[in-house]
Amino acid sequence: MRVVFAGTPEFSVPCLEACRASGAEVVAVYTQPDRPAGRGRKLAPSPVKQAALAAGIAVEQPESLKGAEAQATLAAWRPDLMVVVAYGLILPRKVLAIPRLGCWNVHASLLPRWRGAAPIQRAILAGDAETGVDLMQMEAGLDTGPVLLEKRTPITRDDTGGTLHDRLAALGAAALAEGLRRVLAGETLAATPQAADGVVYAHKLDKAESALDFTRPAIALERQVHAFDPWPGSDAELAGERVRIWAARAIEQSHAATAGAVIGAHRDGIVVACGEGALCITALQRAGGRRISATDYLNARPELRSPRAP
């Protein structure tokens, strides 16, 4: 079976490896054009391109798949199946029709919940107890196709955008590997239409969302800190200084303090008043600095150590 793989970020790489290990022939890899990265803003290849070149697989990087030339190039690879994992480009109907078996997509949510660009972080932000990956038969709509396979995982209170990303990347590769194994064995996977109810869209993350608003409930801020680790981070003003918060936990604490006021500072963390409850900050970063513990921060700002009255 001839497979064309389309993906771009680190999340896609385990799925590319699953394709290579399945026994199918990965004839080409499609990925986004090289983009400026780092302080020097030099053009850098995507993680998927790096993995493909290391494996000796041909790489295609069209700006779009809407044109006849790009579609003819794809058709020339004679794919039986196209596997799409966080590729970043829209696939027109004509592209979906090129492979004999159509196009599969690995999506990091339990559809129809969290269709769209940022399902991992949105699930944490919403306080979802569970998420997973769906192997989906692609159609023209945004993440609307029928589901071929599904794998689930709980979201723990300690999960971050980073830890859940890595777990779902591995889970997605496992789902894809199972789907490929079964099809290569001659099985036709049953396609289950998505439910009409429960559709929620996971809008793309924006740096403007990084600001912590202490007038909100502490549990909402805890989820934001976790969801936005490692990107875009959670920024706040702490006792007159702009910092980035990397680890925090909501605590039930009654107070009459103004939202954002420090109401406790000790070895367990820096406690900040919120609209409901309080947020205990345990890891943070000063401007131009590195991630440090709350204890190290208090060593630099000993005036905060005196407990503030609620």
Q: Is 243 helix (H, G, I), strand (E, B) or coil?
A: strand
The 10 Å CB-count burial string (b at 16+, else e) for 220-238 is: bbbbbbbbbbeebebbbeb
Asked whether residue 254 is marked as a ligand-binding residue, the answer is no
- DSSP for 77-96 reads T--SEEEEES--S---HHHH
Asked whether residue 234 is marked as a ligand-binding residue, the answer is no
Asked whether residue 36 is marked as a ligand-binding residue, the answer is no
Asked whether residue 154 is marked as a ligand-binding residue, the answer is no
Residue ranges of E strands in 2-63: 2-7, 25-30, 35-37, 42-44, 59-60
Long-range contacts of 21-26 (CB under 8 A, 24+ apart): 21/177, 22/177, 22/180, 22/181, 22/184, 23/180, 23/181, 23/184, 24/81, 24/180, 24/184, 25/1, 26/55, 26/57
| Residue positions forming the annotated binding site for (6S)-5,6,7,8-tetrahydrofolate | 109-112
| Residue positions forming the annotated binding site | 109-112
